Amino acid sequence: MAYVNSNGGATGGKSNSKALALEIPNIDDNSTYNVVSGVPSHLLPSYVTVNKAVGRALFYWLTESAHSPLSKPLVVWLNGGPGCSSVAYGASEEIGPFRINKTASGLYLNKFSWNTEANLLFLETPAGVGFSYSNRSSDLYDTGDRRTAKESLEFLIQWLDRFPRYKGREVYLTGESYAGHYVPQLANEIMAYNANSKHPIALKGIMVGNAVTDNYYDNLGTVTYWWSHAMISDKTYRQLINTCDFKRQKESDECESLYSYAMDQEFGNIDQYNIYAPPCNNSDGSTFTRRNMRLPHRSHRIFRQISGYDPCTEKYAETYYNRPDVQKALHANKPEFLTSGLLAVLNRNWNDTDVSILPIYRKMFAGGLRVWVFSGDVDSVVPVTATRYSLAQLKLTTKIPWYPWYVKKQVGGWTEVYEGLTFATVRGAGHEVPLFKPRAALQLFKSFLRGQPLPKS
């Protein structure tokens, strides 16, 4: 067991915080905790109450940088859904310092953790997601983009008061999937706040991956991806194109029926979040399909294995974070932890969503923010075609034409640099890019923070 002190450690001084000391159960000390590069000595989980009247509190987990944390920026990470936990996914599957082992009995070190480059703040939002909660149960049935953005801003303002050493520090917002809404919307709230504040938040930029961006072009690009990757027939593709509106939040029954037919009858038992990855096999022989994706449970098929990828990581996280000793260590005030179990509830009751985030992109360009968008190219949920179709509507001037970028002398993906925005693909990565291609994702993150184009060799 490793012990982390909240009143010193990486900061070299008093933390002036309400966060408590953290004992992390079952870290593999043989890995080793103090020797392996990138392991933080300062982990702080806690809550910020964003609405005292109803007792609505957001859970966070701060992972300070392993090296020179006082000189490193603050990077806020948000997972999407709506309903996906930033602790279970972002911190435990993707960019955090630890991964959960196959038996959920402990942790091992992630050598590609982003905390080598920055201080990471994982935020669980909105209330009800992960360990975040509200004492008013109806909140789960009355939320949406606007409240999520405003309460995320309220969280950040209070959090910076709690951790004054981060005031004035460069701040970057990052995330994936529906965080394609959360991140730009929070950036928009911060810019509005800064315009009238004596103590502005030093927001410098955003980076989002496989990001939900624009209803029409996302949906059109998704169906096109399915067809171009031979996931659906020519007939089904034509029917979807001719029947579906793509702009509407709620499609016609005929369109919904076509979507269901495509997924139930034509996709087969694949992981939509990485179409070339194997599904997760349970010990009882059944097949677990990630994120409850409306796919039928069928017998396992043989898929090409992806080196280093374990398709069952979501199960490990849900098991681990429901352990009483882990919840005690994290000072969690919520007895049941679900990685994505709230997806259906939140999606059914999400009462407002921006049809397009592109107008906020234009505001961010005008505000001088650094904007990067990346896309794992084997994701079929928010695929690369969806992102390219959406970003094309911005009609940006090209600064550096399309070229392959490299990591360890291998093509990591392709990129193009525009006035105000950098777009990059990650070759062979699914929806959660750092899960599938951790080395490439870390290179992407380094280049983003430095404001430099991705390497050409």
Q: Identify the pLDDT of residue 343.
A: 65
Task: Give tens-digit pLDDT for 414-429.
Answer: 999 999 999 999 999 9
Residue ranges of the alpha helices (H) in 173-214?
179-195
Query: Where, residue-wise, is CATH 3.40.50.1820 in the chain?
Result: 1-213+313-457, 215-312
Assign residue 264 a region (left: φ > 0; alpha: ψ between -120 and 50; beta: otherwise): alpha
Helices H / strands E in the chain, number of each: 12, 17
* pLDDT beneath 70, residues of the chain: 1-42, 281-312, 335, 338-343
Of 139, 152, 218, 431, the active-site residue reads: 431
153/191 Cα distance (integer angstroms)? 10
Query: Catalytic annotation on 67?
Result: no
Report pLDDT for 124: 95
Instruction: Determine which one of 15, 46, 86, 177 is catalytic.
Output: 177
What residues does 133 pair with on adjacent strands?
Answer: 57
Question: What is the C-alpha separation between 201 and 397, in angstroms, rounded?
Answer: 29
Q: What is the pLDDT of residue 81?
A: 84
Does residue 431 carry a catalytic annotation?
A: yes
Q: C-alpha 162: how far from its chain's center?
A: 24
DSSP string spanning 366-385? HTT-EEEEEEETT-SSS-HH
Q: What is the CATH number of domain 215-312?
A: 3.40.50.1820
- 366 in the Ramachandran plot: left (φ > 0), alpha (ψ -120 to 50) or beta? alpha
User: Would you say 347 and 83 are in contact if contact means Cβ atoms under 8 Å apart?
Assistant: yes
How far is the CA of 85 from the CAs of 16, 128, 175, 197, 371, in angstroms? 27, 10, 12, 31, 24
Cβ atoms of 398 and 423 closer than 8 Å: no
CATH architecture of 1-213+313-457: 3-Layer(aba) Sandwich (3.40)
Q: How far, in Å, CA of 77 to CA of 122, rounded?
A: 5
pLDDT of residue 288: 42
Amino acid letter at 352? D
Please give the model's pTM, rounded to 2 decimal places: 0.87
Residue 348's pLDDT is: 76
How far apart are the C-alpha atoms of 124 and 120, rounded to whole Å?
A: 13
> Residues 379, 380, 390, 447: which is the catalytic one?
379
State yes or no: is 199 an active-site residue: no
Q: 273-312: per-residue pLDDT in tens?
A: 999 988 776 544 444 444 333 322 222 222 223 334 555 6
For residue range 310-335, list pLDDT tens digits in order: 556 778 888 899 898 888 888 888 76
Take residue 90 and report the two structure tokens written for it.
């972002």
